[in-house]
Each structure stands twice: as structure tokens, then as C-alpha cells.
Amino acid sequence: MSAVIKTLTPFIEQDILLEALNSLNVEYHVNNGLIITNRVDYQGHQQFQFTNGKYHLIHDSDEFGGRLSRNTLNNDYQPIKQFLSKLEGAYKSVYQKKMERIAETERIRMEEAKKKYVQATKEKAIAQAKTQGYSIKESEVNGKIKLVLTRMGH
């Protein structure tokens, strides 16, 4: 008999789930959308199946009765509840790191956009001033660009 156990954190992103499995030294391979692990019970290899927008661990529910095969116990097998608890913590950690990378990338993108805007505004102001007969002296004061316009004599 197989069972699905729910975690507080839904496993929704495959790349994060795979990295979390790696961090726990769980071997796996992906086959037809299933993540098949090296964890084995009476039903065979435990696997994650993507259903209704999240990954669920499919495994033998007999584990709850404490009936694990000798082969499983010899491999430092962690019970499902303990395994999922550790996996959930690893998933959250990997997810947090991904969010930090995305935030840093967005911060850099916004900073670059700001620099381009400032440069374009400065160039436009200089071009407009020159067409009106001003000479321009540029300086930086307290991190801000200062343009001093001087009317050229006729």
C-alpha cells in the first residue's frame, strides 16, 4: 500500500527539491516527471510525483507499523516523518537562497536602470542647454551630478 504525506511546506519547484535532496545526500533520477530516490521500502523506490501543482512522496505506508525490511534498516534508513522533516528544512533553505539570489539580481537590474536614466537625463539636459547657447560645467557634489550653465556671450 502506498501513502502520501503532507508537509507544511509544499514542494512545488523541481530544481529546489532536487538541490534539497542533494544536500541530504539522497540519490535520485528523474524519469517521466517522477523523481525516483534511492530510498527503498516494500513498494520499491520511494518517489516524488508531481500532482496538483506540487510534489508528493509516494512510499509504503507499512512503515508506520514499524515493519521495515532488513535491507532498509541496514542502509541507515530514516523513517519517512524524519526524512520529510529534514527535507522540508533543506527545501526552505535552498528556496531562501534562491529568493536572495533573485532579489540581488533585481537590485542590480534596478541600479543599472537608474544609472541609465540619470545618464540619459544628463545628456538630454546638456544637449538642450547647448542648443540654447550655454556652456556646461559638470561636477559631482555629495554623490549628485551638478551642471553649471553659463551663457556664452555674443
Q: What is the CATH number of the domain that holds 14?
A: 3.30.310
Are 52 and 7 found together in one domain? yes
Does the predicted model carry a pTM greater than 0.75?
Answer: no
pLDDT at 148: 86
The DSSP H or E segment spanning 146 is strand 144-151
pLDDT at 107: 96
pLDDT tens readout for residues 75-130: 567 888 889 999 999 999 999 999 999 999 999 999 999 999 989 998 998 899 88
**Of all residues in the chain, what percent carry a pLDDT higher than 90?**
48
Any idea which of 23-27, 43-47, 64-68, 95-99 has the lowest mean pLDDT?
64-68
Are 22 and 97 found together in one domain? yes
* Half-sphere exposure at residue 81, Cβ-oriented, CA atoms within 13 angstroms: 6
Give the β-pairing of 134-141 and 44-51. unpaired
The DSSP H or E segment spanning 143 is none
**Of all residues in the chain, what percent carry a pLDDT higher than 70?**
83
pLDDT value at 8 more than 80: no
- State the residue range of the domain holding 141: 106-151
Are 98 and 110 found together in one domain? no
The domain total for the chain is: 2
Any idea which of 24-33, 88-97, 121-130, 137-146 has the lowest mean pLDDT?
137-146
Are 93 and 111 found together in one domain? no
Nearest-5° Cα angle at 18, 16 to 21: 110
CA 81 to chain centre: 25
Are 14 and 89 found together in one domain? yes
Are 54 and 127 found together in one domain? no
- In angstroms, the CA 1 to CA 104 distance is 46
Are 11 and 79 found together in one domain? yes
pLDDT, average across residues 58-65? 68
Are 44 and 73 found together in one domain? yes
pLDDT at 133: 87
Task: Kindly indicate the confidence band of residue 71, based on its pLDDT and cuts at 50, 70 and 90.
Answer: very low
Residue of 11, 23, 24, 9 whose CA lies nearest to 58: 11
